[in-house]
Structure 1
Amino acid sequence: MSQPSFDFGAGDEPLDDAATPTFTVAELADAVNGALRRSFSDGVWVRGEIQGWNERGNHAYFTLADDTAGRQAVLRVQFFANARARLRPLLAKHRLRLSDGMKVRVFGHLDFFAPSGSLGLKLTDLDPRFTLGDLDQQRQLVLRRLAADGSLDANRRHRLSPVPLRIGVVASEGTAAWHDFHDELVRSGFAFHVVLADTRVQGPEAPRRVARAIGALARQAARSQLDAIVVIRGGGARNELATFDAELIARAVAGAPVPVLTGLGHEIDRSVADEVAHTSWKTPTACAAALVQAVAGYRQSTETCFAAIGRAAGASLGSAERTLGDQAHRMAR
């Protein structure tokens, strides 16, 4: 039986040479990392949106995304414990907390991770001014749109009831903000009737959920079941307050048929919701105290009126009694 043979050319020729080398995968990974270190030896600044924030122990991992039309791209970012500890004071100073949806400008060193074949950035620094600037820019755009169509002061045209006892509340049940607000009303001794629309007030879904909760309470108010709607949350990072810069929430506030009061727990910053609301307060407790004061003021004015009526009636009766006495005295003569 014959055996076929194959001619692969001269057997002494090398498979590759210095001009066209053949790499193993590991060698290629080393070559890529070497090229990255040479090209970006001092590190690189990159901007994008945080997606998929994930904490594992003291480390954090996320994807930095660029959704520019026709130029979609993502970069994996490693934010290791030592860098997080070093940057924590900087974030605290600017009241920022990294989370999904944030626009950031970060600095780090590129690394090709051979086991997964992926390019990543080891984050070592960030620029808080970039994030704050983006938040403010988005806020100003929303305010201009609201002002253009008259929504900015629409809710302030409603008159607050002189005795606002029926209150709809948008809050996250079980939080300190809710308990502070509720306890302040209870301590007053007044017969407040509170309807809670329990919802998340932070996170990517918060704007939609808060707006939906305001809408649900607004429908009750339209049936004359509520005197006012209150939107509250506790303090937190500046970017978490940005939830209440959402146009969706602002338009829900503007469209409510009763006054909307806010107590969003920020002593310094004002959100778009604060700007659109009938009245804004710095904290949930202050918001509740204002309602208590309004009811107490109504009671005081009512008691003052009753006292004045009593005095006037007493004076009138006294005068009538003297008149009758004088007439009786003349008749007795």
Structure 2
Amino acid sequence: MPHEPTPARRSAPPRPSAPPTDTAAMISATPPGTVTLGRLLARAGEAVRVGLPEPMWVLAAVAAAKPARGGHTLELVEAEASGASGQLRAYLPDSAVEALRRVTGHAIIAGHLAGLTAVLQLRCNFDARWGLSARVTALAPGLETSLVARAVEAARARLRAEGLLDRQRQLPLPRDVTRVTVVHPHDAAGWADVAGELRRWAAAGVLTFRSMPVPFEGADAAAGLASAVGRATSSFDGVLPDLLLVVRGGGARAGLAPLDDEGLARAIATAPVPIITGIGHASDSTLADDVSLRTDTPSKALAFVRELIVQPARRARIDYAAILAAASGGVDRAAPRLAATERLVTAEALRHAGVASERLHRNWGAVREAAQQARGQLARLDDALDHIVADVAGVLPLHLGRTTSELAALMEAIRARARRDGDRADDGARHLDVVADRAVSLLDTAATTLLTLGGAAKAAAVAKVARASSELEALTQTVRERSQRHVTSTDDGSRAVATIEAAVAETCRAQLVEILRLLEAIETAVDRRLAAAEAALDRALATLDGADPANILRRGFVLVMDGQGHLITSVAAATAAVDLVLSLADGMIAVRLTT
């Protein structure tokens, strides 16, 4: 038994100093029956022991609860309802509080008794020095409810002050639920229904789940639950789970004590993934419910998960419609601009092509005109050369004929003179020699003149031909240079036209490629979102198919209706109907209630 400390010491009043008297005289003067103070206190202690031999249940208000060695000191005063006044100091050992903790399963704190009106079992004793005091031997049933409420409220206040009470509700919900971990009791009825539904979803390819059974009741349940929550929110095949379900499903209210544990509440509040609780007590809210996403029952927790699974399919349908509308609107809005751009580019290309064609025609006309002029000059030079040759050919016979005639006339004159002057033969012979020499000289002169005239004519003809050839060559070079310039200008125009046409073609091609790329990207995005939406829809349909009433009936449930086909949901309605129809998985049975 722990040591029971004495009540807090009150300072004893100082003994008054009496004037010196004769002690024997004073004793002889006392009235009969006078006792000493020690005797009086001893008799008072004896009276308490005899008069209050057993512990008694006492209704009192706890004004204060202060820690003491091995327990707490309670300042008890009269309850307001009694209308009396009184005060007593009582000692509450830790063993009594620990017994209450074992009964309730909650972490009860003796200090929470302050301010409560309670029924306590007290064993009174009287000390000669410290007066009347008491020891608490038991706490009346029902007091633990108030203590538990105070302990939970204190824990809730600490969590709120640290910002943990609403932390779970601030986490974003997963957009797509594919991995779920469930913490549940061993072989609980609520878990059987949850497991069946999760298995159907897993078979349909909607999600994968992991089961973590753990005790929900007992002395170590709170610590086990906190540890299970920590393990459950760790990696799930290498990644975190999307959701954690904590489900229980029915049971006594007293069995909820571990769920009010502050350590468990902190583990839930600081978890990195959303935690959904389905304890199965709609009217009872635990500390674990306060820090999590609370649902009343395991079936409602599953409904919460089902809604999260179906939401992506709805979003995909909405996004698909929005993508189609945006794509259609974008193409419709771009079509007029593309058509206007095409018309503008085509008109500009035709204008440049027309300008280049006109310039080409002008250059080609100039080339043709220069060629014609060159041909005319060549023809004139050819005619002049023909005239020169003809002149030379006509002059040479005339000169030759005249020279021959003169020579013949001279020879004839010489012969005539020789015949008249026969007498002077020698002189005639000499003269004949002179004449012959002169004739030969004349012949040489004629030949030289003829040759000179022929050479001059020939040189003149050659010079004229050379001049004509030079002029023709210069004209040809001029024509060639002008033609080359015109051809170069024509080539520049052609290249400009080709460049414009190439730029127009490249612009059209780039715009067409961009449009095709955008359409392909839109089609790819639409196909991807549509595929995801169809997959999510298939999973949702599989989920909904799992909730089909016919499937529920195959699990052993019965659908009760009255004779008019109205659903019966209560005993009162069944009693009022009398004639009932029971719908089973393989048919219906008509029954009649008898009292």
Say yes or no: does 1:71 pair with 2:71.
no
Q: Is 1:155 matched up with 2:177?
A: no
What is the identity, as a one-letter code, of the residue corresponding to 2:150?
Q
Deviation by residue 1:72-95 (Cα, 9 ceiling, x = unmatched) = 557xx9xxxxxxxxxxxxxxxxxx
Structure 1 distance, partners of 2:278, 2:58, is 38
**Aligned amino acid, residue 143 of structure 1:** R
Number of residue pairs the alignment of both structures matches:
232
Alignment correspondent of 1:286: 300
Q: Residues 210, 196 of structure 1: CA spacing in aligned structure 2 closer, same or farther, 3 A cutoff?
A: same
Q: Deviations over 1:179-207 (max 9, x none)?
A: 22223334554622111222111111110
Instruction: Give yes or no for contact 1:221–1:227 (8 Å, CA) kept in 2.
Output: no
Unaligned runs of 5+ in 2: 1-48, 60-69, 73-91, 109-117, 122-137, 339-595
Superposed CA deviations along residues 215-253 of structure 1, whole A, max 9, x for unmatched, are 112222696331121211122222222211101101101
Alignment of 1:153-232 (within 5 A): 153-187=166-200, 189=204, 191-220=206-235, 224-232=239-247
Cα-to-partner distance string for 1:13-39 (whole Å, 9 max, x where unaligned): xxxxxxxxxxxxxxxxxxxxxx99985
Tell me, in whole angstroms, the C-alpha distance in 1 between the residues paired with 2:161 and 2:237.
26
Q: Secondary structure at the match of 1:167?
A: strand
**8 A Cα contact 1:221 1:258, kept in partner:** no
Amino acid at match of 2:189: A
1:146-168 per-position Cα deviation (integer Å, ceiling 9, x unaligned): 11222212222211111122111
2:279–2:296 Cα contact (<8 Å) kept: yes
In 2 relative to 1, CA 221–45 (structure 1 residues): closer, same or farther, beyond 3 Å?
Answer: farther
Q: 1:323 and 1:38, CA in 2 relative to 1: closer, same or farther beyond 3 A?
A: closer
Q: 1:244-255 to 2 correspondence within 5 Å? A: 244-255=259-270
C-alpha displacement at 1:305, in angstroms?
A: 2.4
Q: 1:45 to 1:229 in 2, by over 3 A?
A: farther
CA contact (8 A) 2:234 2:241 kept: no
The CA distance in 1 between the partners of 2:256 and 2:50, in whole Å, is: 38
Residues 83-140 of structure 1, C-alpha deviation per residue, up to 9 Å, x if partnerless?
xxxxxxxxxxxxxxx956467x9999xxxxxxxxxxxxxx9xx643x23212211110
Q: Distance in 2 between matches of 1:302 and 1:282?
A: 30
Contact 1:166 1:192 in 2 (8 A): yes
Structure of higher RCO (CA pairs closer than 8 Å, 6+ residues apart) = 1
Matched residues in 2 for 1:36 and 1:220: separation?
A: 69
Secondary structure of 1:220's counterpart equals: coil
Aligned-partner residue type, residue 155 of structure 1: Q
8 Å CA contact 2:243–2:274 kept in 1: the answer is yes
2:157 corresponds in structure 1 to 144
Residue of structure 2 in register with 1:329 after alignment: none
| TM-score (normalizing by structure 1) | 0.57
Change (3 A) 1:203 1:270: same
Q: 1:303 aligns with which of 317, 328, 338?
A: 317
Q: Check if 1:132 corresponds to 2:145.
A: yes
Task: Pick from 265, 278, 282 the counterpart of residue 267 of structure 1.
Answer: 282
Residues in 1 aligned to 2:297 and 2:333: alpha-carbon distance in whole angstroms: 53
Q: Matches of residues 28-107 of structure 1 in structure 2 within 5 Å?
A: 44=57, 68=71, 71=93, 99=103, 101=105
**How far 1:44 sits from its partner (Å)?**
4.1
The verdict on how the C-alpha distance between 1:179 and 1:203 changes in structure 2, with shifts beyond 3 A counting, is same
User: C-alpha distance in 2, partners of 1:99/1:190?
Assistant: 46
Contact 2:214–2:224 under 8 Å retained in 1: yes
User: Aligned equivalents of 1:249 and 1:36: distance in 2?
Assistant: 50
Say if 2:104 and 2:144, in contact at 8 Å, map to a contact too: no
CA contact (8 A) 2:104 2:257 kept: no
| Corresponding residue for residue 111 of structure 1 | none
- Would the aligned equivalents of 2:179 and 2:243 in 1 still touch at CA under 8 Å? yes
More strand by share: 1
Report the alpha carbon displacement of residue 304 of structure 1 after superposing the two structures with TM. Answer: 3.2
Q: Measure, in 1, the Cα distance between the counterparts of 2:157 and 2:329.
A: 59
Distance 1:200 1:38, change over 3 A: same
1:311, CA displacement in angstroms?
5.9
| TM-score (ref. length: structure 2) | 0.34
Asked if structure 1 preserves the Cα contact closer than 8 Å seen for 2:181 and 2:210, the reply is: yes
Q: Give the residue type in structure 2 aligned to 1:203.
A: G
Go from structure 1 to structure 2 and tell me whether the alpha carbon gap of 1:73 and 1:150 turns closer, same or farther (over 3 Å shift): closer
> By percentage of residues, which structure has more helix?
2
RMSD: 4.2
Distance 1:321 1:193, change over 3 A: same
What SS does structure 2 have at the residue aligned with 1:194? strand
Q: Distance in 2 between matches of 1:37 and 1:136?
A: 37
Amino acid at match of 2:93: R
Q: Distance in 1 between the 2:213 and 2:207 partners?
A: 18
8 A contact 1:181–1:287 mirrored in 2 = no
Change (3 A) 1:186 1:323: farther
Provide the rounded CA distance (Å) in 2 between the counterparts of 1:314 and 1:251.
52
- Percent identity, aligned pairs only, is 27
Judge conservation of contact 1:222–1:257 (CA < 8 Å) in 2. no
Structure with larger Rg: 2
Q: Supply the distance in 2 between the matched residues of 1:151 and 1:301 (Cα, whole angstroms).
A: 31
Q: Secondary structure at the match of 1:195?
A: strand
Q: Which secondary structure does the structure 1 equivalent of 2:251 belong to?
A: coil
Residues 72, 311 of structure 1: CA spacing in aligned structure 2 closer, same or farther, 3 A cutoff?
Answer: closer
Q: Aligned partners of 2:221 and 2:187: how far apart in 1?
A: 16
Please report how far the alpha carbon of residue 255 of structure 1 lies from its aligned counterpart in structure 2 after TM superposition: 1.5
Q: Structure 1, unaligned stretches of length 5 or more? A: 1-34, 47-66, 78-97, 109-122, 325-333
What is the distance in 2 between the residues matched to 1:222 and 1:273? 27
Whether the aligned pair in 2 keeps the contact of 1:215 and 1:256 (CA below 8 Å) is yes
